[in-house]
Chains A and B, each alone.
Chain A
């Protein structure tokens, strides 16, 4: 079974640059919000 929830990085794993990490932080947050908005508007479209 694939691991869906990402575990923490290994102690000795190379650390991505701060810019890259912040990019992922903002990207994942925006993608999650977009997914939520999509579900909400789909529900609204189905019901109204």
Chain B
């Protein structure tokens, strides 16, 4: 097998590291070793357990591990029980994290204890659907627009170590079980590495990072707490939207945005959350939510959404710092290119596309056409598809500080205009007919989408009106 035949650029890079088995003349890889995958996993800032525990910072790492164990034990996350043969014991994993100052010195050693969720089986270690709803970005944008129109106060909060506050889930028929059977239920994990206790395991009383059900259990826990504070979950609209009499709350796992007319109402909610033993960190007004920079210009009455951090990561991933800028994300229609040159770039094609999709969904709606075309060939990209991806990257490089600008005008009535054109983008030379729908809460965009609907030449449009008293 030649290196160029390998589909993933990561895999190509991985094989290339095995110089002992790589025949440069023939361009072939005769053998490979599992050690290559271990080498791939190594990261100085996220090291494996052995290396830092025997390195120069071993004392600091041991101390960080002790601190994590003491914290979790103090919160009653587990109880130590005797190991029994019938127990399905999950592995216990240390996720080590090293945070650095800009000058390279160590800022913090953060060692987190995780359960080996990859060994869990349904109806044994978890009993419910594990999917966690997350907020739709259309909802966030709509709230941002309304916050300008209605001059709402905003506040961002983050729940610290959120998952470990929720009680571990129980099987649906737990109440019908005998006390002996109930005692056997639960999630068991090995003793943490570095803290041996022969013949003992940990029985989890609360959720722990790494468990499949941890995000869902946390969301249910948060939902219960918010209900106690008078919030109602808007299930029919957006499951992560909670509304009380005076405050609106949006949540994305452990990040929340709060909106209210009176900032004192938000403060009261935060006080009540503290009273419910929810540890949270206040992060000021909504300026950076889910890695999207939100700049509010009160004089101009605009909100600008930018993602310079993600844009820089995309540019770095593609390694096109030295290439000139372009003014458009696409200038050709892509084809399958069966006879074309094979992909040669040393980057992960699919990974970069996913990053650009995130950018498109939050602040770069103009990338939709170019991105959807490049995405068609993610499974087996050719060189021409790589060039198209690089063109998007060069366009982003020139517009990295630009983003989506929301500038709602103050009207007595809130309009939502929807312009529909099934043949909005006519793609000649392909068999696909694209449609584009734009929904514009007057006048900034809140939602846009492309779908495969039949081509037509007409332009049906509709206007939804609802009264708005500003």
Are chains A and B native binding partners rather than an unrelated pairing? no
